[in-house]
Amino acid sequence: MHPDNRKRKCRDGCDVGATDLSRRVQGCPDCWKASKEWSVVEVFGTKNNFDLVAIDRKKKTLAVEVKWLSFPGGKGPNSEFQRFIGQCTLAAAVNNVVIGVCGFRGQRKKQFHKDESKLRAMLKRIGVFLIPVHANVEQRARKQSAV
């Protein structure tokens, strides 16, 4: 995770911290720097980071990308959703497993779930697991105003 201001490091080095969790320090700047070597995707002069990355003892990697999207006036957040899928695809280029968590606020009147299973299957082929989270903001607001 991102280093904190105290700059505390893993006791006896990051490799020891990886095998002995009692020696690991969250926010170790050395761990953070080392993660950039295997987790960042550099393409077309840009560096792409992900919301969460992890590596296990066998050097297998995981990236998690999280986005919240809204439906203003029932219109779909197409460009934001495409960016989310693009980030997940970039993550899959260098990570063994990618989990994409996409939250949706509001609802679209059109056939919202129509192609969701097709997209999940396509992304799974490249190592991306899609988890849609639907927040029903309108229903929650009605419940709160009734109290």
Identify the bridge partners of residue 42 per DSSP, sorted by sequence position. Answer: 47
- Report pLDDT for 91: 93
pLDDT value at residue 8: 84
Structural element, H or E, at residue 104:
strand 97-105
Q: Which CATH number fits domain 40-146: 1.20.1260, 3.40.1350, 1.10.3470, 1.20.950?
A: 3.40.1350
At 65, is the pLDDT very low, low, confident or very high (cuts 50, 70, 90)? very high
- Domain range summary for the chain, segments of one domain joined by +: 1-39, 40-146
Q: Is 70 helix (H, G, I), strand (E, B) or coil?
A: strand
Dihedrals phi, psi of 48, to nearest 5 degrees: -115, 120
Q: State the average pLDDT for the chain.
A: 81
